[in-house]
Structure 1
Amino acid sequence: MKNHLITALIALVAGFGGAALWSLSGLGHSQTRAYLVENPDILPEMAEAYQRGEAEGRLAEISDEVAEAFPGAVLGNPDGTSVLVKFTDYGCTFCRQSVPAVDALIAANPDLKVVVREWPIFDGSETAARMALAAAQQGKYAAFYHAMFEQGSPSEEGIQRAAEIAGLDMAAAEAFANSDEATAELAKNMAFARTLQFTGTPSWVAGNETIEGMVPAERLAEALDSAG
């Protein structure tokens, strides 16, 4: 069993590029085995590097598409060149709690464009997501986004209140919310999330990184800065 594990780890090492191979270049099977046994602390770092490389590869396949907002579904500067993508759900507590962090990033960076991808994965969230797309279509996305999160978990009454606060034309909004265009957008966002192997909300694309979960504004800013 132990030998099988060591062999698997050696195979994992062989699959790495860059620093991982550099550290073990020129070593045979037995030498690699001995090195791993004597230095087990490098394995988590190598695994993390491998996972990061895999995530970057997945993002590279769709990076331009995922950063292209549904018309109007943007916070901050719609013409900004620094782009943060947020996959969000109005029924998600951590999505709600992340709102101040995103607002702080926007306040600190006038060039920041936040592309919001509606990804309703919680029960009862899809109606709110559809109304958010209708708000985007009317140019009132930011107002609805903030008002909807202030309502707590989505409910028919809460969605109605958020729509009223945002000043939506309700007849037009309800028609758009039930349109094929809204359905297609939600399906697209689901496909993006699956390609990026996101497991929940909030999830982020910041620069060249994919990040899952609620993280500090500083972590997102660091990822954006590292992308140049």
Structure 2
Amino acid sequence: MRPIRALTDGDTMPFRLARPATAALILAAGLAAPTAQAQEFDPASMTPAQREAFGAEIRAYLLDNPEVIMEAVAALEARQADQQSAADSDLVAAHRDALMDDGYSFVGGNPEGDITVVEFSDYRCGYCRRAFPEVEELIASDGNIRFVLKEFPILGEGSVASSRFAIATQLEAGGDAYKQVHDALMVLEQDPTEPVLRRLAETLGLDADAILARMSDPEVERRIRETRALAEQLQINGTPSFVIGDQMLRGYVPLQGMRQIVEDQRDAG
């Protein structure tokens, strides 16, 4: 490809592109990573008249070919997505132990599974509730997923009360009881007041008095605090957020999308 010649004050004709393809070439040179050839073109060397003519040609080309703008935007978005994905993978790698095995978060599914799925969840979050049955289906239908639940209450006092109740249940009655309470809280329609939580515990055959008393245990506060700190380090500020293998998903992803990511992680491993 012949280099684009920089214009000088000695040019006697106003700058004019021979054909739209040349304008596209210059535009592409500006949008893409600079090449040695593109760098030979120096707009700063143009006269005001040449610069005006150059701008007019570019404008005319873009008006005739508006799809070029959409292609450029799509390319930029794809590049930014790749950069975000790479940054997220680095964050996951840096905090892998806290994510996968913090010593207190509930571990379900297949504890020996070949892929770990971590979810940061809030019981009052609409998208968490939407994702709940799909995550359950993902784990049940796969059979080889290790699932880690992170209590991440960020939507007000009701969220905090629900998480405190779930963690208190885990401390008082163990992991199986915790999962029962978790599942019930994900579909609970009433506000999580003390009478409502008491009735929920009693319905599940749990010691409501012991669990409600345990909600003020410093260990409950420690777990919530540490999970919030981890989320901050991972730049997670919304729910649901997932980590699947080494990939972070910031938001709700439908079941089929999660299945595809699990499959991709297995293939990559």
TM-score range, shorter chain: 0.7 to 0.9
Counterpart for residue 212 of structure 2: 174
Paired-residue identity, %: 27
Q: CA 1:161–1:30 in 2, change beyond 3 Å: closer, same or farther?
A: farther
SS at match of 1:115: strand
SS at match of 2:253: coil
From 241, 253, 260, the equivalent of 1:203 is 241
Distance 2:199 2:225 in 1: 26
- Number of paired residues? 206
Q: CA 1:205–1:33 in 2, change beyond 3 Å: closer, same or farther?
A: farther
Distance 1:93 1:30 in 2: 51
Q: CA 1:57–1:189 in 2, change beyond 3 Å: closer, same or farther?
A: same
Alignment RMSD (CA, Å) = 2.8
From 137, 159, 182, the equivalent of 1:125 is 159
Counterpart for residue 254 of structure 2: 216
Counterpart for residue 93 of structure 2: 60
Tell me by how many angstroms 1:143 deviates: 0.6
From 141, 144, 157, the equivalent of 2:181 is 144
What's the TM-score, normalizing by structure 1?
0.78
Tell me by how many angstroms 1:28 deviates: 6.7
From 77, 87, 90, the equivalent of 2:110 is 77
Distance 2:245 2:169 in 1: 27
Distance 1:33 1:45 in 2: 28
For structure 2, list consecutive stretches of 5 or more residues without a partner in the other structure: 1-28, 44-61, 63-67
Q: CA 1:141–1:47 in 2, change beyond 3 Å: closer, same or farther?
A: same
Q: How does 1:29-48 map to 2 (within 5 A)?
A: 30=39, 40=72, 41-48=74-81
Distance 2:184 2:36 in 1: 60
Q: CA 1:70–1:177 in 2, change beyond 3 Å: closer, same or farther?
A: farther
Tell me by how many angstroms 1:154 deviates: 3.6
Per-residue CA deviation, residues 202-223 of structure 1 (Å, 9 max, x unaligned), is 1111111111222112222222
From 71, 77, 96, the equivalent of 2:129 is 96
What amino acid does structure 2 have at the position aligned with 1:193?
A
Q: CA 1:31–1:65 in 2, change beyond 3 Å: closer, same or farther?
A: farther
Tell me by how many angstroms 1:57 deviates: 1.3
Q: CA 1:98–1:211 in 2, change beyond 3 Å: closer, same or farther?
A: same
**Structure label with greater radius of gyration:** 2
Counterpart for residue 48 of structure 2: none
Counterpart for residue 20 of structure 1: none
Q: CA 1:46–1:144 in 2, change beyond 3 Å: closer, same or farther?
A: same
Q: CA 1:158–1:33 in 2, change beyond 3 Å: closer, same or farther?
A: farther
Distance 1:33 1:224 in 2: 48
